[in-house]
Structure 1
Amino acid sequence: MERKLIGVDLGGTTTKFAILTENGDIQQKWSIETTILDEGAHIVPNIIDSINHHIDLYKMDRSQFIGIGMGTPGTVDLNKGTVIGAYNLNWKTLQPVKEQIEKGTGIKFTLDNDANVAALGERWKGAGENGSDVVFVTLGTGVGGGIIADGRLLHGVAGGAGEIGHVTVEPNGYMCTCGKKGCLEQYASATGVVHVARDMAEEFSGDSKLKQLLDNGEEISSKITFDLAKDGDVLAKRVVDRVSYYLGLALANVGNTMNPSSIIIGGGVSAAGDFLLNQVISYFKQFTFPTIRDTTALKLAILGNDAGVIGAGSLAQRFI
């Protein structure tokens, strides 16, 4: 009987699931809405019900499953299988997730932080090419990261390893939600790009569609900014150059510290593709010393939304 893995990617609006082979190939996937009502009390029962329903639907045997792995927001205690501080899930108190899911499904369960899990996915089946030393940075509403060194995910003494979004790139810069100033997250996230654009537009006096939009009080996004830059808008190009500078600086510091085979850029902002990547590489090379410059490659993520479930599935391999 072929052994299987289950991967769960728990998000604030949607929970994604996949049944995978031992080699990480997705065989089935589905998703459900994440219900955060009643302080998130429905989240784990809904996950249990969905897994049980689909195992029955596909006429599979629970003994086939090596384990369930899950990526979740919040602070994770790996040994106890608990989560706390996942505020976008409305989880204000400690959640005994491992205990509940193992009891509800009869299958071994493990979990980790969602950014770490996405890193595992991209490393295993994506742009990381299953390398032993891979860094993943995701540029979304915020900036997250995961670091794999010598084949092992780094957690740090308090689970804070890989917080690339809080690398300082501008001392005394923008105030961050973490309480300190100048974090990468405030410059290279989707919201950060907009913040940079607004500030630069105030000082800009030339002809620019981006400036017109901002002066007229219209909503802009990182996508609009990058699209205008690609079309040659002078202000938008300057905004992208500044964002690339900060991202290149932060990733160069990561490269100089870790010397991974690859640093993979994912998340919504990375949809700008090679247009962004090539500019970031230029600054990355400026700030790295020769050994890193010659051996650490910057790449775009390739798994998209599947990185989370694939990475979660790889967590369950620890039960083999």
Structure 2
Amino acid sequence: MQKKVLGIDLGGTSVKLAILSKEGDVLQKWSIPTDNSDGGVKIVPGIIESIKHHLDLYRLTSEDFLGIGMGSPGAVNRSEGTVTGAFNLNWTTPQPIRETMEQETGIPFVIDNDANVAALGEKWRGAGGDNDDVVFITLGTGVGGGIVADGHLIHGTAGSGGEIGHMTVDPDGFECTCGKNGCLETVASATGVVKLARKHAEEYAGDSLLKKLIDDGQEINSKMIFDFAKDGDALAVIVVDRFAYFLGLACSHIGNLLNPDSIIIGGGVSAAGEFLLEKVNKHYLGFAFPNVQQSTKLKLAELGNDAGIIGACYVAVAHASKN
């Protein structure tokens, strides 16, 4: 029987797990809540317990698996199999994840940063069409990214390769959580577009339902802003165009530097779909080098929430083929 792969996508609120074929087909998937209490000490034991339960349920043993792949937030030391500084998990000290997982499951384990892993998923089985040169940008609470060049993930000398969210696109802009000003994350994330809306609402004097909500002190979110823009709300249209300007500018820098086959846009904010892509593409084409305009295309992600588990399968299969 062909060996299977376990894919794990560790997030701040939930852990997605799946059993996949080595070709990346999802055979079974489930999720568990992320218990980050007590400094996150229960997270890995909870994952192990869930894996053991499901292996029993499906009458599988460690012998049935080629490996386990995992994507995690934080600073991942791939050679040591540890994670540090995943603050949404309350992990402040290095976590010996690989050592614990292999000891408890008896299955070879490999780990990488969650955005990198999602990039590999989209490259392999999603919008990337298994091309060797693909960049993935994920627009969520923040902005993450992963760069695949010549078939290899770019990790950089200290693991910070692909920090697309911290490209400076507006030097005089909002302060970022990283301490810099004007990072892409401050204007092109779910929280960033809300900041833009509040800023432009102060300056806007025309008729707008979005402005009324902001002036009344009501809660707004990125989905509302894009929905208002689709309905022609004047302020929302300005805000979304500004958002698209910054994202298009960042995509042009990526395209001019790397000339990948595609730049794939995913994450929660990308649910705005073709409406968003069209606006970003207009600015991207305005900034990109002529040859890049023709050869590097912007695309919407295709795998949704499965990108992480499919990418985790990819890293496990790649790791197994080397050993």
TM-score, normalised via structure 2 length:
0.98
Aligned residue for 2:304, secondary structure, equals coil
2:21 aligns to what?
Answer: 21
Shift of 1:213: 0.6
Task: Report matched runs for 1:206-285 at 5 Å.
Answer: 206-285=206-285
> What is the rounded CA distance, in whole Å, between the counterparts of 2:301 and 2:256 in structure 1?
21
- Counterpart AA for 2:299: K
1:63 aligns with 2:39: no
> What is the rounded CA distance, in whole Å, between the counterparts of 2:108 and 2:62 in structure 1?
10
1:310 aligns to what?
Answer: 310
Cα deviations by residue, 1:74-133 (Å, 9 ceiling, x for unpaired): 000010000000111011111000000000000000000111011011111110111100
Aligned residue for 1:173, secondary structure, equals coil
1:177 aligns with 2:164: no
What is the RMSD of the two structures over their aligned residues, measured on CA atoms?
Answer: 0.7
Shift of 1:61: 2.8
Cα deviations by residue, 1:35-88 (Å, 9 ceiling, x for unpaired): 111111111111111111111110113112110000001000010000000111
Q: Percent identity?
A: 61
1:53 aligns to what?
Answer: 53
2:320 aligns to what?
Answer: 319
1:93 aligns to what?
Answer: 93
After superposing on structure 2, the runs of 4+ consecutive aligned residues of structure 1 that deviate more than 2 Å are none
Cα deviations by residue, 1:140-185 (Å, 9 ceiling, x for unpaired): 0000000000000110000001111010001121111101111000
Shift of 1:221: 0.7
> What is the rounded CA distance, in whole Å, between the counterparts of 1:42 and 1:217 in structure 2?
39
> What is the rounded CA distance, in whole Å, between the counterparts of 1:16 and 1:289 in structure 2?
39
1:120 aligns with 2:126: no
> What is the rounded CA distance, in whole Å, between the counterparts of 2:173 and 2:116 in structure 1?
27
2:44 aligns to what?
Answer: 44
2:299 aligns to what?
Answer: 299
Aligned residue for 1:24, secondary structure, equals coil
Shift of 1:32: 0.7
Cα deviations by residue, 1:1-30 (Å, 9 ceiling, x for unpaired): 111111000111100100000110000001
Unaligned runs of 5+ residues in structure 1 are none
2:104 aligns to what?
Answer: 104
- Counterpart AA for 1:77: N
Task: Report matched runs for 1:125-164 at 5 Å.
Answer: 125-164=125-164
- Report the count of equivalent residues: 320
Larger mean CA deviation between 44-53 and 23-32 belongs to 44-53
TM-score, normalised via structure 1 length:
0.99
- Counterpart AA for 1:299: K
Cα deviations by residue, 1:224-251 (Å, 9 ceiling, x for unpaired): 0000000011110000000000000001
> What is the rounded CA distance, in whole Å, between the counterparts of 1:22 and 1:170 in structure 2?
43
- Counterpart AA for 1:138: T
1:167 aligns to what?
Answer: 167
Unaligned runs of 5+ residues in structure 2 are none
> What is the rounded CA distance, in whole Å, between the counterparts of 1:12 and 1:217 in structure 2?
28
> What is the rounded CA distance, in whole Å, between the counterparts of 1:209 and 1:173 in structure 2?
25
Larger mean CA deviation between 54-63 and 291-300 belongs to 54-63
> What is the rounded CA distance, in whole Å, between the counterparts of 2:115 and 2:151 in structure 1?
16
Aligned residue for 1:161, secondary structure, equals coil
> What is the rounded CA distance, in whole Å, between the counterparts of 2:69 and 2:17 in structure 1?
10
> What is the rounded CA distance, in whole Å, between the counterparts of 2:310 and 2:215 in structure 1?
44
- Counterpart AA for 1:87: F
- Counterpart AA for 1:307: A
